[in-house]
Structure 1
Amino acid sequence: MLSWALTFLIIAIIAAVLGFGGIAGTATGIAKILFLVFLVLFVVSLIFGRRPRV
């Protein structure tokens, strides 16, 4: 998931340098959403991974 966020971030940076404003904005938005989803899943896995096994 984090690799997808980084991929879209790189696409956004390249598109912004080349002057494609709409594509850069869309790719940036997708990268932000994917990063937040990754962050939430990471925190959830940390919380549930620390439970003592019965």
Structure 2
Amino acid sequence: MRKKDKRKNLIIWLAIVIFLGIPFGMLNNNMFIGFGIALCFAGAFNTAFWKSKE
């Protein structure tokens, strides 16, 4: 994997975590749990995205 692809992937991953983490955190009044849920979603998306590219 090229360095540029890695950087692009990381930016997409962080954007998903931030945009999902804040609303989920506000829902439970606990940002830690919100970002934990968002990390799970981002990981699942990332795995599905790379499996589809193979």
* TM-score (structure 2 length as normaliser): 0.48
Indicate the structure with greater helix content: 2
Q: Which has the larger radius of gyration?
A: 1
* TM-score (structure 1 length as normaliser): 0.48
Higher relative contact order (CA 8 A, sep 6+): 1
